[in-house]
């Protein structure tokens, strides 16, 4: 279980409050699909994923990216209870969709790059 200090919670909440979830979500998921193309197999119903520009411009990628970051925002509101907050999503992705947990680490790495790009020195991982 993760335990955040009061300072960490304040920093996370402050930065997330400035986040454009729609823009950053689409960018994060899009970059994940471009840089790690094997992750595309989970999104075969998203239509054209044939090139980086097709992926980054794909409305379904953008919409799902927004959905992912919206769930992160929900988690930020419940930082003391992350396990419960993500329980149903974890069950869906791991047990039903059989997504390798490593893919979530990769998404996290991509998100760190997105945050650093958007917030510069204001972002301290």
Structural domains in the chain plus CATH codes: 6-122 (1.10.490.10)
Q: Percent helix, strand and coil across the chain, each rounded to 5? A: 80, 0, 20
The model's pTM is: 0.87
Tell me: the pLDDT tens digits for 30-86? 999 999 999 999 999 999 999 999 999 999 999 999 999 998 998 899 888 877 777
Task: Return phi, psi of residue 5, to 5°.
Answer: -75, 165
Q: Of 9-13, 46-50, 86-90, 111-115, give the lowest mean pLDDT range.
A: 86-90
Q: Do residues 43 and 64 touch, judged by C-beta distance below 8 A?
A: yes
Give the separation between CA 83 and CA 125, rounded to whole angstroms: 21
Give the separation between CA 84 and CA 31, rounded to whole angstroms: 28
**Residue whose structure tokens are 């969709």:** 97
């Amino acid at each position: 279980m993760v335990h955040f200090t009061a300072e960490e919670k304040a920093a996370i909440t402050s930065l997330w409050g400035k986040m454009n979830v729609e823009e950053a979500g689409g960018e994060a998921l899009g970059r994940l699909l471009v840089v790690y193309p094997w992750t595309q197999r989970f999104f075969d119903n998203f239509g054209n994923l044939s090139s980086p520009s097709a992926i980054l411009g794909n409305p379904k990628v953008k919409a799902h990216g927004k959905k992912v970051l919206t769930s992160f925002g929900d988690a930020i509101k419940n930082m003391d209870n992350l396990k419960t907050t993500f329980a149903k999503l974890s069950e869906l992705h791991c047990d039903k969709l059989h997504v390798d947990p490593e893919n979530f680490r990769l998404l996290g790495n991509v998100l760190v790059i997105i945050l650093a790009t958007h917030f510069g020195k204001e972002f301290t991982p």
